[in-house]
Amino acid sequence: MNQRRERILDEDAASQWIESGMTIAIGQPTPMALVRSLIRRGVKNLTVVDAGFSLDLLVAARCVRKVVSYYAGGGFGNPVTPAFRRAAESREIEVWECEEGILCAGLQAAAQALPFLPWRGGVGTSIPEVNRDLKIFKDPISGETLIAVPPIKPDVAILHAAHADAYGNVQHIGGPGWIDLFMYRAADRTIVQVEKIISNEEVRADGWKTTIPAADAIVRAPFGAHPFYSRGYYLQDNDHLREYNDAANSAGRGESKSLDAYLDRYCREPVALGDYLERVGIKRLLALHEY
């Protein structure tokens, strides 16, 4: 029979696409169900394009070798997220120093199969000095000083969105993430976890709403961005993030017990998203609905 292939995978099958040593890009809203599955599986030596607490969690769980990040800001009184700071200062991870414009130029270069794209932001700074992959050059048209940004090409991009149909057509609520579309275009393959699977008819009713066409895999993951927000569904769980932050801060001071306990309780022991959500608790989850 002439039947179109569906792209829905379960969390575990999708996670298997990511192997130790790969480069992955992590979008925002944050695909935490998939992030936790990487920790559960003990994936190692990843190069990670990400920012903030999801990056910090992967670093804390020792899944990361190299970080491509413009921002590891802390919140909750930290100027820098705790595990990232400890791992960068102790050289456990390598940092590919960049900033938002440079990162997007690199992802765009990968998407367009170009050897580099030029960028001006960063000229005069230390960024091209400490990141030797970035080259200062004189542009051949008018002789301006610019930075050549090489392609940043993830093996897999993992993203979280509101809705998708079975064929990988993704529709966001309230906009397509922050760098997500750039990550999707640059990556070899993209996995999108969603709050809800919708019908193909609903997608075709307004194809302009589709933000990511033909994602390679769709994972059904209600509340799958917790403890982060998911637009149109729930807000960030600051109490939970604070719990992680405190644990990671103590680990930075050499007491790793509470961080180990956090990782066991929320990342390693739950075998799937449902088990994790059970540990978070229905009351907490329901309290996070927008307004």
Partner 1 sequence: MDASYTIPELMTVFLARELNDGETLRVGVASPVPEAAVRLAHLTHGPNMELVFLGARMNVAHLDTIPMPAYGWDRRVVRWAESYSDTGHRFDRVKDWSKHVFFIGGVQVDAFGNTNLIGIGSDYQRLKFRGPGSVGTPTLSTHVGRYYIVLNSHSPRVLVERCDYVSAYGWGTGGADARTKLGLPGGGPRLCVTPLAVMDFAEDSRRMRLKSVHPGVSIDTVRRETGFELIIPASVPETAPPSTEELQALRTRVDLDGRLRR
**Contact positions toward partner 1, by CB under 8 A?**
51, 69-75, 79-81, 84-85, 88-89, 91, 95, 97-102, 104, 107-108, 119-127, 130, 144-145, 174-182, 229, 231, 235-236, 238, 290-291
62: enclosing H helix or E strand: none
For the chain, give me the number of helices (H) and strands (E)? 12, 12
Judged by beta carbon, residue 9 or residue 25, the one nearer partner 1 is 25
Judged by beta carbon, residue 144 or residue 255, the one nearer partner 1 is 144
Judged by beta carbon, residue 150 or residue 166, the one nearer partner 1 is 150
Q: How far is the CB of 203 from partner 1 (least distance, A)?
A: 21
Instruction: Quickly tell me which residue has 């130029």 as its tokens.
Output: 105
Angstrom distance (rounded) from CA 179 to CA 156 = 14
Q: 226 and 288 in contact (C-beta within 8 Å)?
A: yes
Q: How far is the CB of 249 from partner 1 (least distance, A)?
A: 15
- Residue closest to 191 by CA, chosen among 146, 154, 226: 154
Judged by beta carbon, residue 150 or residue 232, the one nearer partner 1 is 232
Judged by beta carbon, residue 4 or residue 91, the one nearer partner 1 is 91
Mention every residue, 6+ apart, whose C-beta is less than 8 A from residue 27: 157, 158, 159, 160, 177, 178, 179, 180, 183
170-171 and 156-164 strand pairing: antiparallel
Q: How far is the CB of 25 from partner 1 (least distance, A)?
A: 12
Q: How far is the CB of 145 from partner 1 (least distance, A)?
A: 6
Q: How far is the CB of 41 from partner 1 (least distance, A)?
A: 28
